A = this chain, B = another copy of it.
Amino acid sequence: MNTLNPGDTILIYETGYFSNRWKSLAERLGIKVELIESDWRHPVDSSRIHHILKKDSENLIKAVCVVHNETSTGVVSDISGVKRAITEAEHDALLMVDTISSLGSIDYDHDKLGVDVSIGASQKGLMLPPGLGFTAASERALRMNATSKFPRSYWSWEEMQPHCQKGFFPYTPATNLLFGLQEALKMLLDEVGLEPTFKRHERHARATRQAISHWGLEMLCQDTACASNTLTAVLTPGNVSANSLRKLISEKFDMSLGTGLGKFEDKAFRIGHLGDFNDLSLAGTLSGVEMGLRLSNIPFNTGGVHAALEYLAGSID
């Protein structure tokens, strides 16, 4: 809404449910979307982006849109590769990235990566309730804002920007969450530090994968090198309903797992391991899954929690 114009074309790489929500959101706004289709089980293949941009000699594609960490699948994509693909194709498209489930948990640097528009939210790695959204924009994105003709008011950068520079808002903001944000940033930046936070998420993701591998279950993400550090999606075997498992675990162990989304509806469940979360939270979480598996009819090998604990104990500083 803030950089493009009605009728513009953008390129969205299909990584999962949220890339596709981005597509439908854009189409609702009258933007044409070229979607690079995928099986939702692999990260962005930058060469496909490069290939398409290379052919678009007239620069009809105005933006390349990528979800950094696909919350629906637990697959993380290499944003520097996407940036390189655009640069090497000598293309003008803006690079836009959704960092909602990675911001503050998985290394990501808007400026260094040369991203044009990054968006984030309060309710994941920032450990707050939902209610705040964040946008970072490059100089180039701000220049394009001046020529963007979408009818807009509430979300418009040109209204927001002059206020923000003075620490104000053009309308009543969610004040309570701003106080919470102040505390969250103090914890992340001053008390713990970003690097240790990133490492903690990485350890927890590895431990989770140890459990899943031991259980003999299949991760939705087929390329472990690109598996997310903040959540892991797991397929239930055969025709077993993932939602029945989730319901069972919620009823018996008071733990809410994420549902499979879109094409994995009822076929996968998602384990979140981000935010205010430590080794014992993870152990409790994985124990809930393992006990749920026992109580269901899903064939699996017990001992996944054991394997995760072995990894965790073996990898501590």
**A172 with B312, Cβ < 8 A, contacts A156-B28, A283-B305 known:** no
Q: Which residues of B contact A156 (CB under 8 A)?
A: 28
When C-beta atoms are compared, the residue in chain B nearest to A316 turns out to be B252
A69 interface residue (CB < 8 Å to B): no
When C-beta atoms are compared, the residue in chain B nearest to A294 turns out to be B313
When C-beta atoms are compared, the residue in chain B nearest to A149 turns out to be B30
Contact, CB under 8 Å: B278 / A283: no
A25, A131, A294 — most chain B CB neighbours (10 Å): A131
User: A131-154: contact bitstring with B at CB < 8 Å (1 yes, 0 no)?
Assistant: 100000000000000000011111
The answer for the CA separation of A265 and B47 in the assembled complex, in Å, is: 57
Contact of A280 among B130, B253, B306 (CB under 8 A): B253
The answer for the CA separation of A264 and B305 in the assembled complex, in Å, is: 32
Interface size on A, residues (CB 8 A): 50
Q: Which residues of B contact A290 (CB under 8 A)?
A: 309, 313
Instruction: Tell me the chain A residues, 277-299 only, with Cβ under 8 Å from chain B.
Output: 278-281, 283-285, 287-288, 290-291, 294-295
User: A163-203: contact bitstring with B at CB < 8 Å (1 yes, 0 no)?
Assistant: 00000000011111100000000000000000000000000
A129 interface residue (CB < 8 Å to B): yes
Contact, CB under 8 Å: A28 / B153: yes
Residues of chain A whose beta carbon lies under 8 Å from any beta carbon of chain B: 6, 25, 28-30, 121, 123, 129-131, 150-156, 172-177, 252-255, 278-281, 283-285, 287-288, 290-291, 294-295, 302-303, 305-306, 309-310, 312-314, 316
